[in-house]
Chains A and B, each alone.
Chain A
């Protein structure tokens, strides 16, 4: 769909630049005239929103790094100094802290949208896989970032997560020591996590470039999951999707701002306003909400190594989705059976998240949550490794519309006038 370029340099300067570095041509072809399916709905606006989130995190993060001190003796107090003594430091930090949650909220919506409309299916496998890589980098970055304020949850979260590597047979404890740069989480760990926390977002930005590049080869999938066939099926990206994305972005920023200005600690844990103390373990060590489903999987399995394998497997599984889905139809709109399993999967993810937030002995309606988490974990894996391949083979999809244009405009689409 990328097709031949429609860029037409008008002025002498544009021609001069175009023959040397065709950057304006690239911008024009990818962001202005790029033919985009005309039926993209609200759920397709999160790609732009995510780009915005990454930008906000990088900009606020750079400013925070100007004031933050990455040694265990001063980290906590330097964050408090940012909150109290740096001009608008409280604003920058609250935007950054809530920005992480907003980023994950958006990425989960983006991923579930891809899952629902089959956006991972041929010819978009690489877009999906690169997306999984971005998600993985995001989790690493968020984890490193959460350690930096050096509160109780920072310290003990870092201890729990890095200890997972010690589950690896034979070399595990050596790996953990290597990660820590010490024999426990300490100064060396904090410093390297800060370094990596600053590095990874730029790697994410690069991989996002690949994600968008890969997207621009086949073009967007769409809620119908059918290919673009004629020019009537598409509209130019600008102004149609620039204005639509901008509108929904502002709605998203309203939600974002509501948290920053009126509930800035909503996603936080009170324990992280206590300075890290290696001698006092908090009664409950809980990660940030966006990692809770995986944390629930880890805890539901009594064997440490197996737990780590299952948790890692839950993420690695995502890479194989393009080949696990055997259906010929992309969009769940036309897959009556898969649609049920999809929504059940969404519920299971919420349940896993809930289980991850509770104490290990907690129960719901008399059922130990650890068993709820086990069954939910089972469904998580069954959804990808059993349900996806089998349902794709046995399900009878509904009839697909003839074209995007016909579906949107009705039969008048036969006439090319808009």
Chain B
């Protein structure tokens, strides 16, 4: 009996230990990416919500910096006014949309290009999705020295390490490459990226954007804001989800309590 307990505890301990410490066991290649920086975001944890100011500033960073190379295809302008998001007013979202040129439908003559042969565009509407900067993958690669800038709609959920990883990439450019490490042409050293070289040039600079709310636009601040914005873009219903989760859990725990009382009562005489 004692031996059984021992085996069982061993099993549990070993199982949990193995599950809990994948890092301790994983094979590390010489240029394996560094662990993401330990930064905390307001939206993490069961009670976390998005910082409204950070979302709006983050959208500004996306619009003024990232959007020249990265798409955001799953976000429509109307989403900018959604509850639980940046919560711009509808008028603001309409204005933000109108300031962006989106591909237009064929005109009354059935033409899809203007006299110079350029595709027709029109100001964006609330219903439009954010236009991607390049018409196709080849165009994107041709304009970025062969690298493909990924669409950012889901980037926070699509990368191991999530928001910390994206933050670390954005703020990881200033680190010096170790002696003897060769950075190829058109690549940039970033130890948080697998293989340590990344096609993206350092995107953020101090005061690279001017925040209208007076927040000082350091690199760290911009990274924090844009990561918050991208986390929302990837998971726009998070606040709804957590709020409903609490209601559901409270209901279920109450129900469990009632059922436990019923269970005890029914079984009172049976064992």
Chain A interface residues toward B at CB < 8 A: 38-39, 77, 80, 83-84, 90-91, 94, 235, 239-240, 243-244, 246-247, 250-251, 253-254, 257-258, 260-262, 264-265, 270-271, 273-274, 283, 336, 339-340, 343-344, 346-347, 350-351, 354, 357-359, 361-364, 369, 408-409, 418
Question: Which listed residue, B160, B242, B256, touches A247 by the CB 8 Å rule?
Answer: B256
Asked if B270 CB lies within 8 Å of chain A CBs, one says yes
Pairwise interchain contact B271-A258, C-beta atoms closer than 8 A: no
Greatest chain A CB density within 10 A among B1, B25, B159, B236 is at B25
Q: Can you report 18 residue pairs joining A to B where beta carbons are below 8 Å apart?
A: A38-B270, A235-B270, A239-B266, A240-B267, A243-B263, A244-B263, A246-B263, A247-B256, A247-B260, A257-B245, A258-B245, A258-B249, A270-B160, A274-B158, A347-B11, A350-B14, A409-B271, A418-B269
Pairwise interchain contact A38-B271, C-beta atoms closer than 8 A: yes
Residues of A within 8 A of B26 (CB): 358-359, 362
**Which of chain B's residues has its CB closest to A94's CB?**
B241
Bound form: Cα–Cα A94–B8 in Å:
33
Bound form: Cα–Cα A244–B270 in Å:
13
Bound form: Cα–Cα A260–B74 in Å:
22
Residues of A within 8 A of B74 (CB): 77, 80, 84
Pairwise interchain contact B270-A261, C-beta atoms closer than 8 A: no
Beyond A254-B252, A362-B25, A363-B25, 15 additional contacts (C-beta under 8 Å) are: A39-B271, A244-B267, A247-B262, A250-B256, A250-B259, A254-B253, A257-B245, A261-B245, A347-B14, A350-B18, A351-B14, A359-B26, A362-B26, A418-B269, A418-B270
Asked if B139 CB lies within 8 Å of chain A CBs, one says no
**Which of chain B's residues has its CB closest to A81's CB?**
B74
Bound form: Cα–Cα A235–B267 in Å:
10
When each residue 154-166 of chain B gets 1 if its CB lies under 8 Å from chain A and 0 otherwise, what string results?
1001111010000
Residues of A within 8 A of B14 (CB): 347, 350-351
Bound form: Cα–Cα A354–B25 in Å:
10
Pairwise interchain contact A261-B249, C-beta atoms closer than 8 A: yes
Residues of B within 8 A of A264 (CB): 241
* Given A343-B11, A350-B11, A418-B270, A254 and B249 contact (CB-CB distance below 8 Å): yes
Pairwise interchain contact B3-A340, C-beta atoms closer than 8 A: yes
Pairwise interchain contact A240-B270, C-beta atoms closer than 8 A: yes
Bound form: Cα–Cα A63–B4 in Å:
46
**Which of chain A's residues has its CB closest to B269's CB?**
A418
Bound form: Cα–Cα A254–B263 in Å:
18
Bound form: Cα–Cα A361–B27 in Å:
7
Pairwise interchain contact A261-B11, C-beta atoms closer than 8 A: no
Is the contact region of chain B dominated by helix, strand, or loop, or is it mixed? helix
Bound form: Cα–Cα A346–B234 in Å:
38
Residues of B within 8 A of A339 (CB): 4
Q: How far does the Cβ of B208 sit from chain A's closest Cβ, in whole Å? A: 28
The residues in B between 73 and 87 inclusive whose CB is less than 8 angstroms from any CB of A are 74, 79
* Given A362-B25, A408-B271, A247 and B245 contact (CB-CB distance below 8 Å): no
Bound form: Cα–Cα A54–B160 in Å:
31
**Which of chain B's residues has its CB closest to A274's CB?**
B158
Asked if B179 CB lies within 8 Å of chain A CBs, one says no
Bound form: Cα–Cα A8–B260 in Å:
31
Q: How far does the Cβ of B241 sit from chain A's closest Cβ, in whole Å? A: 6
Bound form: Cα–Cα A344–B266 in Å:
37
Bound form: Cα–Cα A363–B26 in Å:
7
Asked if B15 CB lies within 8 Å of chain A CBs, one says yes
**Which of chain B's residues has its CB closest to A39's CB?**
B271
Residues of B within 8 A of A91 (CB): 241, 244
Asked if B142 CB lies within 8 Å of chain A CBs, one says no
Residues of A within 8 A of B162 (CB): 270
* Given A38-B271, A240-B267, A343-B4, A351 and B256 contact (CB-CB distance below 8 Å): no
Nearest first, the 6 A-B pairs at minimum CB distance are: A261-B245, A273-B158, A347-B11, A247-B259, A350-B15, A343-B7
Pairwise interchain contact A257-B248, C-beta atoms closer than 8 A: yes
Q: How far does the Cβ of A417 sit from chain B's closest Cβ, in whole Å? A: 9
Asked if B122 CB lies within 8 Å of chain A CBs, one says no
Q: How far does the Cβ of A397 sit from chain B's closest Cβ, in whole Å? A: 14
Residues of B within 8 A of A361 (CB): 27
Bound form: Cα–Cα A82–B76 in Å:
14
Asked if B99 CB lies within 8 Å of chain A CBs, one says no
Residues of A within 8 A of B158 (CB): 270-271, 273-274
Pairwise interchain contact B242-A261, C-beta atoms closer than 8 A: yes
Bound form: Cα–Cα A235–B266 in Å:
11
Bound form: Cα–Cα A351–B17 in Å:
11
Bound form: Cα–Cα A260–B246 in Å:
11
Question: Which listed residue, A94, A261, A358, touches B248 by the CB 8 Å rule?
Answer: A261
Q: How far does the Cβ of B82 sit from chain A's closest Cβ, in whole Å? A: 9
The residues in B between 162 and 208 inclusive whose CB is less than 8 angstroms from any CB of A are 162, 194
Greatest chain A CB density within 10 A among B79, B157, B160, B242 is at B157
Pairwise interchain contact B234-A273, C-beta atoms closer than 8 A: yes
* Given A270-B160, A271-B158, A362-B25, A251 and B245 contact (CB-CB distance below 8 Å): no
Residues of B within 8 A of A243 (CB): 259, 262-263, 266-267
**Which of chain A's residues has its CB closest to B240's CB?**
A90
Pairwise interchain contact B252-A250, C-beta atoms closer than 8 A: yes
Residues of A within 8 A of B154 (CB): 80, 273-274
Residues of A within 8 A of B248 (CB): 257, 261
When each residue 247-265 of chain B gets 1 if its CB lies under 8 Å from chain A and 0 otherwise, what string results?
0110011011001101100
* Given A243-B263, A251-B256, A408-B271, A270 and B159 contact (CB-CB distance below 8 Å): yes
Bound form: Cα–Cα A261–B46 in Å:
9
Pairwise interchain contact A262-B245, C-beta atoms closer than 8 A: yes
Asked if B216 CB lies within 8 Å of chain A CBs, one says no
Residues of B within 8 A of A83 (CB): 237
Q: How far does the Cβ of B138 sit from chain A's closest Cβ, in whole Å? A: 13
Residues of A within 8 A of B46 (CB): 262
Question: Which listed residue, B1, B150, B153, B241, touches A90 by the CB 8 Å rule?
Answer: B241
